[in-house]
Homo-oligomer: A and B are copies of this chain.
């Protein structure tokens, strides 16, 4: 089942540049792994924002939550999830 997931990341002002860099790299590595596992299918950037729209596939909302919560930046992400149904023209 597919989900449209929108999130915006706001790291705290007090976080140092080194920690940010480390987090971003860990984020990228984890995202790559979620792609290999077939959970993360596409990502787009919302222009002008630190926000991302993503197309995810997971057996259910619980598995999706676990995948999202495994992202290193998850504690600073504001996430909204929209469940998608298959469109008849896609079958």
Interface residues of A (CB under 8 A from B): 1-5, 7, 12-14, 28, 31-32, 42-49, 52-53, 59-62, 64-65, 68, 77, 79-90
Instruction: Give CA–CA (A87, B46) in the complex, Å.
Output: 9
Interchain nearest-CB distance for A26 vs B (Å) = 13
A83 → chain B, closest Cβ, in Å? Answer: 4
7 contacts between A and B (CB under 8 A): A1-B59, A13-B14, A42-B90, A47-B65, A47-B81, A48-B77, A60-B60
- CB within 8 Å for A61 and B79 given contacts A42-B90, A84-B53, A89-B31: no
Question: In the complex, what's the smallest C-beta–C-beta distance from A50 to chain B, in angstroms?
Answer: 9
Of B12, B42, B48, the residue contacting A65 (CB under 8 A) is: B48
- Given the known A-B contacts A13-B12, A60-B60, are A85 and B46 also in contact in the complex, defined by CB atoms under 8 Å? yes
